[in-house]
Chains A and B, each alone.
Chain A
Amino acid sequence: MAEIIANEGGGKQKGKKRSKRHSTHIDMTPMVDLACLLLTFFMLTTAFSKAKVMEIVLPERTPKDQKQDAPEVDKDRALNIILVAGDKVLWYNGLADPRKPPLPTLNETDFSDEGIRKVVLHRNKDLFIQIEQMNKDLVEGKIKLPRDSVESRRLKMKTRDTKGPVILIKAADDVKYHNIVDIIDEMAICNVARYALVDINDLEKKMVAEYMAGKASGAASLK
């Protein structure tokens, strides 16, 4: 393989004694092997060492002495998602108001593709198609945009959206961290314009407890 050939062309002076008759060969094969190996190692490790992050920005806290009313959410646009233990998701439309019975019914689903994603996509269909169409057009070259303004265009589409759902994400006490990340990710997948992480209120806690109790008794009666 790779080698250095030194001391060549020594055959002219006949009869003269030379200490080195044969050319010195340095076998470089092991060195090249090692260099190759290290090179591969460093190439692979540098490519994979970067971790990905999901950025979230929360609204600034209002000072304790200042009272601020929670923003009004349109009843028709509200979609409440309550995360409960065991990777389960409960959701209901509209707002739960104890002064205006009946209370909305809870629906149970999960984190699979056919689960909560379907519910959210169904509500957010128009905006989702709009944004996906733009992405498709960008890829196919139908519309031309500088790369750095794609995100702002997408954001503009989201802020202009007036029909999509306002999703309120609530988590019960014993939820695992990946549930929260999954649901926020689901919002990103479905291009949801408006969502918020909200603390679960007592009424909803009661609703969840009743739902669970109803399910348990239903299962018992089946037996």
Chain B
Amino acid sequence: MGKIKIHAKPPKIDMTPMVDLFFLLLIFFILTATFRPQEAVMVDTPSSISNTTTPEKHIITLMVSKDNMIFFNVDNGIDSSEHLRGKILQAVGKQYQLKFTPAEIKKFEIMNSFALPIDKLKGWINEKDIKLRDAMHTGIPVDSTDNQLLMWIRFARQYYPDFEVAIKGDRDADYKKVKRVIDILQDNNVNKFNLTTNLESVEISMENL
């Protein structure tokens, strides 16, 4: 008991400050990270040399998927405290004589982009199975007789006129469909859009000219 053993101990490094720093950084990154919810479809965007970043909030995202379905999304990220999504849903619903319950509106506010005619939207909101929900998308109607996309954009801009518009088209989407989306936007007096692209770099040597 009283004997003192002298061990040949390896030198100990105090790790506490390092650990402290790790946690500090970890907390910083957790707080600053903005999570983008899983998109309803995979969209493979074309690439360009443009280096401008997407605006953070107040953005309408129109996706055109590979099979030419049009998805609509009003950002549900940072601006969810303003409850714009819910207001827009109510306004568009009213236009088509549809009523949404407060619970449905609340649920819709945290949901993602959708591609459904307005009358199917209720079913989509209430569907619990994510897989089934994702399979419901058929595209927002954009025909001249039943142009629901026009309504969505119109009411979105009524609540917040300075919405930026991003068009996120798939590489292999038909240009005709994207053109239709652009035409509808121009019908709403939106003449400035952001086309979402991947960054690529291009080098041209002056000698070759």
Chain A residues with a Cβ under 8 A of chain B: 1-3, 11, 14, 28, 31-32, 35-36, 38-39, 42-43, 45-46, 49-61, 117, 121, 125, 128-129, 132, 171, 173-182, 184-185, 188-189
Contact = CB atoms under 8 A, between A and B. Distances in A.
Contacts of B172: 176-178
Contact of A28 (B15, B166, B189): B15
Contact of A52 (B36, B53, B179): B53
B191 interface: yes
A189 B200 CA distance: 11
A46 B32 contact: yes
Given A35-B19, A51-B196, A52-B51, A174 B174 contact: yes
Nearest to A42: B29
A185 B51 CA distance: 12
6 contacts: A28-B19, A42-B26, A52-B51, A54-B50, A56-B195, A171-B175
B209 A179 contact: no
B195 A46 contact: no
Interface in B155-209: 166, 169-179, 182, 186, 189, 191-199, 202, 204, 206, 209
A1 B10 CA distance: 11
A182 B46 CA distance: 8
B145 interface: no
Contacts of A3: 15
Contacts of A177: 46, 64, 169-175, 177-178
Given A51-B54, A53-B195, A188-B50, A2 B33 contact: no
Nearest to B25: A39
B194 A176 contact: no
Given A49-B36, A54-B48, A189-B204, A60 B15 contact: no
Contacts of A117: 204
B50 A55 contact: yes
Interface of B is mostly: mixed
B8 interface: no
Closest 5 CB pairs of A and B: A2-B15, A42-B29, A53-B194, A178-B46, A54-B50
A54 B197 contact: yes
A3 B16 CA distance: 8
Contacts of B189: 60
A54 B195 contact: yes
Given A46-B33, A61-B186, A188 B48 contact: yes
B177 to A, nearest CB: 8
Max chain B Cβ within 10 angstroms of own Cβ: one of A43, A56, A59, A189: A56
A121 B53 contact: no
Interface in B7-65: 14-16, 18-19, 22-23, 25-26, 29-30, 32-34, 36, 45-54, 64
Contacts of A14: 2
A182 B45 CA distance: 11
Given A2-B16, A178-B46, A53 B196 contact: yes
B22 A46 contact: no
A42 B179 CA distance: 38
B26 A50 contact: no
A55 B166 CA distance: 9
Nearest to B31: A42
A38 B175 CA distance: 42
A35 B23 contact: yes
Contact of A53 (B36, B50, B170): B50
Contacts of A42: 26, 29-30, 33
Contact of A125 (B4, B34, B209): B209
